Amino acid sequence: MAKKLDKVDVVTVGVGWMGGIVAAELTKAGYKVVGLDKGKEKDIKDYLHTHDEVRYPVRGEGYEKLTNETYTVRNTLDEDARPIRDKSTAVIGEGIGGGGSHWGAQTHRYYPYDFEIRSKTIEKYGEDKIPENMTLQDWGITYDELEPYYDKFEKMGGISGEPDPNYPERSDDYPTPPLKKNRQMLLFEEAVKKMGYSPFVIPSGTLSEQYTNPDGETLNACQYCGFCGSNYCEYGAKADPVMTVIPTAQKTGNFELRTHARVVRVLHENGKASGVLYEDTRTGQEFEQPADLVVLTSYVFNNVRLLLLSEIGTPYNPEDGTGVIGKNFTDHHGVTSSHGLFDNEKFNNYISTGAYGMAITDYTGDLLDHHDLDFLHGGQIEARITGNAPVANNIVPEGTPQWGKEFKEKSLFYANRFLMIFSQKATLPYQDHYLDLDPTYTDANGDPLIRITWDYSDNDRAIHEFIQEKHVEILEEMGATHILPYPMPEHFTGGLAFQHNSGGAIMGDDLETSAVNSYLQTWDIDNLFVCGASAFPHFSCTNPTTTAAALTYRATEGMIEFLKNGGQLVEAKSQKSQV
């Protein structure tokens, strides 16, 4: 029997970036917030001895254990899904801070085209340009409407960067200057400028200098230590909820953080959420936490799974495209990458940060004319200095075996002579790519796992072909002696190299084609909000956190408005206007 607790104003399910932002903004506004996180507590004292390749990136110390639950994956509707079993291949942040504690902290904004992708594509190319089974949708918000919230996130996180010359002027500069350029970045910059591109230093949540944010939280200067993307930052130099929004919420006295608290259901009746049911993962004791406002702020998989398990909204049906919960799932894997080896250079490859390098955006969004191309959107091109942690980085010329005498010799020689060109591509939604509940596999309590049905699309492969040619041209211009353009894998296996999944509870302006409005408020239950990349109708080229966080900052204004006046914050379109 669940123990019923006293009612609070707001309960968040998960305390990572989204939960932390909600907690900070709502507690500052005077509301009592309880944050539930199924993982453990942590603070900077836990971060001091993390320069350990095996423990962190290889074994995934910062990732959620799969002992009790995971997700399952299949490529097509007629396959049996299989569970992802190996913890190190399911990169889902563990404990408070979530993925925001160990992220690489690459912080691009999305492009104006993204938010109105369907309208703008039809306007320029006609409706026939969109493949029939591509469920491309506008987001129900424009870039200009979201811009102030990008700015707010960047100022909270102290983001270091310089403007991307290809995209609209920012309302303000990045709060801190870009990271220092190293030899590899200078080589890339020189080459791509010669080729007519406009490179810029990748914006980053590892800070170029010490910075105090508007909430009074201080972050320190990045030391370029090379243990970043799967590690916690011992200097407190990475924008991390544990260093920023969580302490901000705690300082108000209005925030109660409960760890080891795994939410199993959203409780609701007659179109109103009454709270959540959760269990203490150590004792199994169940608790009911009533609240005026329930906010799902966990990872994409868990946000969508809780909606489905709690029977909120209409589950998506991939056969006819009706329903919304689970719709437009996209994933960022199948990245296009190419290594360049430089026989006559020797780089300080051991020096890096989580998102260290320079980028060009000339092939993103609709900056390139797509009339004669067999894809929509595109990919960003980055020169990335990823570090050369020695277990994972053994780059050898084509034709070299992956072990043995020659492998050893070559992998040692090239350990400080490689550079990666890297493209994350926009992944666009399809009718048969979605999330639902698995019919076979369950968690430790017997509740079904979330199931992914997804694979690389023709659009992904076409962008890959297109963009990798550019990689090769750039590496040639840079003087690489060997160029290794890696092919895309045949199929998505479900293993994650990074925490980039999206969709399943998507935003929009039509309740028949989206789950939440532009304030991330569900159409079905006024006092339930679903925050995070689960709201993305498609995945743009770059990392999801910045846009998810900007949407969540905007959503917190809606939450405050709702707590004052109630009701739906946006009037829904009443008929199908899209798709």
Partner 1 sequence: MTENKDANEKKVSGNQEEVDLSKRQFIKTAGMTTGGIVGGILLGSFISKPFKTEKYEPASGDNHHHGSGTHNTFTEAMQFFTRSEDLLTLAAATEIIFPEDENGPGAIALGAPYYIDKQLASPWGKNTDDYRKRPFLEGESPLNRGDTMLTGLRKLNEVSQSKHKDIFDNLEEEVQIEILQSFEAGEIEMNLVSSAGFFTLLRQLTLEGCYADPLYGGNKDMEGWKMREFPGAYMSYVDTVEANEFVKKEPMSLSDHM
The binding site for partner 1 (CB under 8 A) comprises 48-49, 51-54, 58-59, 65-67, 69-70, 80, 82-87, 180-183, 221-227, 234, 346-348, 350-351, 388-391, 394, 402-405, 408-409, 411-412, 415-416, 440-442
Of residues 349 and 361, the one with the C-beta less far from partner 1: 349
Question: How many residues are listed for the chain in this entry?
Answer: 579
Q: Give the whole-angstrom CA distance, residue 212 versus residue 92.
A: 28
Nearest to 437 by CA among 524, 315, 299: 315
| Contact call for residues 88 and 463 (beta carbons, < 8 A) | no
Distance of CA 199 to the CA centre of its chain: 23
Q: Is 293 left (phi over 0), alpha (psi -120 to 50) or beta?
A: beta
Minimum separation from the CB atom of position 87 to partner 1 (A): 4
Query: In this complex, which beta carbon is closest to partner 1, that of residue 69 or of residue 512?
Result: 69
Task: Say if residues 9 and 22 touch (Cβ distance below 8 Å).
Answer: no
**180 or 461, CB closer to partner 1?**
180
CB 202 to partner 1: min, Å: 15
Least Å distance, CB 417 to partner 1, is 10
Strand partners, 448: 442
Minimum Å distance from CB 67 to partner 1? 6
- Name the packing angle between helices 143-157 and 545-565 (round to 10°): 100
Query: Would you call 34 helix, strand, or coil by DSSP?
Result: strand
Q: Which two tokens stand for residue 139?
A: 């987001």
Of 69 and 362, CB closest to partner 1: 69
- Compute the least distance from the CB of residue 214 to partner 1, in Å: 26
Task: Mention every residue, 6+ apart, whose C-beta is less than 8 A from residue 181.
Answer: 189, 201, 358
Rg of the Cα trace of the chain?
23
Least distance CB 81 / partner 1 (angstroms): 9
Assess contact for 496 and 91: CB atoms under 8 A: yes
Catalytic residue (one of 108, 377, 500, 538)? 500
**Residue 281 or 317 with smaller CB distance to partner 1:** 281
Name the residue nearer to partner 1 (CB basis): 119 or 182.
182
Active site residue 500: yes
Contact 96, 150 (CB under 8 A): no
CA 522 to CA 528: how far, in whole Å? 6
The least CB distance from residue 480 to partner 1, in Å, is 17
CA angle (66, 70, 74) in 5-degree steps: 140
Tokens 């060997």 appear where?
A: 482
Nearer to partner 1 among residue 373 and residue 415 (C-beta): 415
The residues annotated as belonging to the active site are: 500
